[in-house]
Amino acid sequence: MTTTKTANDASPFRYTYTPPQIQGEFKGKHVISVDQFTKDDLDTLFDAARSIRRRMRQNDRGLTEICAGKVMASLFFESSTRTDMSFQAAMRRLGGDVISVSNGVQFSSMYKGESLSDTIRAAGCYADVVVLRHPQVGSSYEAAYYLDKLNSRIINHTVIVSGGDGVGEHPTQALLDMFTIYDQKGSFDNLSVTLVGDLLNGRTVHSLAKLIAYYKPTGTQLNFVAPETLKMPSHIVQMLRELGISVNETENLTDVLNSSDVLYWTRIQEERFEPEEYNAIKDKFILLHPMIKDAKKDLIIMHPLPRKHEMGTLSDHDILDEDPRAIYFEQMENGMFVRMALLAKVLRGAYV
Ligand code: NCD
């Protein structure tokens, strides 16, 4: 059996706290699950992200007024490069400020034994938005619950945005992934979207698969390519099918590679395994450039990053990166635009 953080390790708030639906109104709402979004909400957010990207290109200094006077707290209890930096950059580019615990969360009071609920309320007293990454599934639900309680007692109203909760969800990554697909393909209809790798523990693919379904595309097929032990959780597959999405699960990439429009490659989540289990599966899927020679000319290759050897060696990376179909760096930049749009909407309700 693979060692993974199962539902048993989840915070009980994952099942008792219901996050608010966005339903056209982002302002003041926590963002902790893709379940909060409808197609219309996504269209609104993508319009805002496109507008922000245009204004960035034009060096529009008005962007720095959007979140002027607002403060974002960055609380990352798991490692991060892109999510943390892109949120911080997004907030600063909108004129807001960023705070975090000096020298990182390892020097926060959680390491004196303070609970997440108290730590989050400390951040809530000082910031307008808290971005939380935490190893426990449902931790963002717990944080939202305690911030709601706090908000009724103090002057400041604080929202939480999840930066990933263990093997659970990564909602803002899915938002930027969806934006990137839409940007490249112009639609979500009639696409063959292939997600490959650690579909059990990879939170990005959980959120992305659900969010595609919530967009209600027609004629779209999701292919899940994973070894038997790392398959997409069955409750997600079942939910997708109930929403009318055609799902194909296979261990053979060759079954689906050449008909794919989107190839979403992922890392085996090493930190969630015992070393011997990781070694047994780490080489299952390695994407090398020769493999895509017969793939579609307009295929897009995505990856949430970081990547390790699932795209081969560093020189293999260099070869793949030169292919115009490899768009993970554009995807990465889109992360900042989408997070700027989200912060503007959540903090100001702003039309950008
Ligand atoms: C991912 C994450 O942290 O879930 N990275 C990211 O946020 N861009 C993917 C991963 O760690 O494999």
Q: Where are the beta strands (DSSP E) in the chain?
A: 71-76, 97-99, 129-134, 159-165, 192-196, 221-225, 246-250, 262-265, 300-302
**Ligand 1 atom at minimum distance from 332 CA:** 8
Q: Where are the beta strands (DSSP E) in 113-220?
A: 129-134, 159-165, 192-196
**Ligand 1 atom at minimum distance from 335 CA:** 8
Q: Among the options 170, 206, 267, 284, which is catalytic?
A: 170
> Which is it for strands 129-134 and 300-302: parallel, antiparallel or unpaired?
unpaired
- Please give the model's pTM, rounded to 2 decimal places: 0.96
Of the given ranges (200-209, 226-235, 259-268, 278-287), which has the lowest mean pLDDT?
Answer: 278-287
Residue 272 has a pLDDT of 87
Q: Does residue 164 sit in helix, strand or coil?
A: strand
170 is catalytic: yes
77 CA from centroid of ligand 1 (Å): 13
108 CA from centroid of ligand 1 (Å): 23
The structure tokens listed for 190 are 């009639």
With a 6 A CB cut-off, is 267 part of the ligand 1 pocket? yes
- The mean pLDDT value of the chain amounts to 95
With a 6 A CB cut-off, is 173 part of the ligand 1 pocket? yes
pLDDT digits (tens, 9 = 90+) for 244-273: 999 999 999 999 999 999 999 999 999 888
133 is catalytic: yes
d(CA 43, CA 62): 23
Task: Say whether pLDDT at 104 is over 70.
Answer: yes
d(CA 147, CA 215): 29
Q: Does residue 48 sit in helix, strand or coil?
A: helix
pLDDT band at 105 (very low <50, low <70, confident <90, very high): confident
194 CA from centroid of ligand 1 (Å): 18
Residue 348 has a pLDDT of 96
Please, where are the H alpha helices in 165-218? 171-185, 203-214
Of 166, 40, 77, 84, the C-alpha closest to 332 is 84
313 is catalytic: no
Q: Among the options 133, 134, 203, 345, which is catalytic?
A: 133
